[in-house]
Amino acid sequence: MKAHTRETQATMTPEKSIRFLKEGNLRFQQNLKANRNLLEQVNDTSDGQFPFATILSCIDSRVSAELVFDQGLGDIFSVRIAGNFVNEDILGSMEFACKLAGTKLIVVLGHTACGAVKGACDDAKLGNLTKLIEKITPAVKATPEPKDASLRNSKNLDFVDSVAKKNVELTIERIHQESPVLSEMEKNGEIKIIGAMYDINTGAVDFYE
């Protein structure tokens, strides 16, 4: 499989980009990698890059977007931060990726059993991590069930995963609210912004479309 070129990137649509990621994740689950020569892709991308998607994911070592979607060099922009939330720098990176570099899709990728989400559920305090966790706290507060306070913590993995999903939804809301550039592109049909959840037990990605 060759690296994307300006010409192949131009043929991509938001819907086709989603299909490429779904097909790649299916290959990953089946342990069937696309046939790529990575050194050849190094050479092919030396004069430019033409990715088709931008993935915002957690720093979790088990959730490498390039691996779980079976993508090669030059295929995707990968933005990683614990808890997969956005700030000005990340929004600016996404605007560059879509408006200037031509990606057709933004995926906010959460995952099950997320450590950052667990920290937010427990209101953990630890140096600079405290401020990071506060970015996820709105998702904890916006997750209504269970009402029993004794079950609203990291020991309840169903609650953790519910918060992780809500965090993805709120992150997408923030992208819409805080990036007029990306919101306008989506309204014009140039890009699509969607959420997804990676299951660390199965390797499957569930897209929220």
Instruction: Give the model's pLDDT for residue 47.
Output: 75
**Residue 154: which pLDDT band, with cuts at 50, 70 and 90?**
very high
Q: What is the pLDDT of residues 68-117, one digit of tens each?
A: 999 988 899 999 999 999 999 999 999 999 999 999 999 999 999 999 99
Q: Is residue 165 part of a domain?
A: no
Looking at residue 98, its amino acid is C
Q: Consult the annotation and say whether 114 binds a ligand.
A: yes
Contact 132, 118 (CB under 8 A): no
Domain count, the chain: 1
Q: Is residue 154 part of a domain?
A: no
Q: CB under 8 Å, gap of 24 or more: what pairs does 31-34 form?
A: 33/70, 34/1, 34/70, 34/72
Instruction: Give the model's pLDDT for residue 186.
Output: 98
CA 206 to CA 26: how far, in whole Å?
Answer: 11
**Residue 6: which pLDDT band, with cuts at 50, 70 and 90?**
confident
Q: Is residue 16 part of a domain?
A: yes
**Residue 136: which pLDDT band, with cuts at 50, 70 and 90?**
very high
Q: Is residue 133 part of a domain?
A: no
Instruction: Give the model's pLDDT for residue 46.
Output: 74
Q: What is the pLDDT of residues 15-48, one digit of tens each?
A: 999 999 999 999 999 999 887 777 777 776 777 7
Instruction: Give the model's pLDDT for residue 123.
Output: 95
Q: Is residue 173 part of a domain?
A: no
CATH at residue 71: 3.40.1050.10
CA 137 to CA 24: how far, in whole Å?
Answer: 32
Residue 37: CB atoms within 10 Å: 13
Q: Is residue 47 part of a domain?
A: yes
Q: Consult the annotation and say whether 121 binds a ligand.
A: no
pTM of the predicted model as reported, rounded to 2 decimal places:
0.94
- φ, ψ of residue 73 to 5 degrees: the values are -65, 135
Q: Provide the domain limits for residue 16.
A: 6-117+179-208
CA 170 to CA 141: how far, in whole Å?
Answer: 11
Q: What percent of the chain has pLDDT over 90?
A: 82
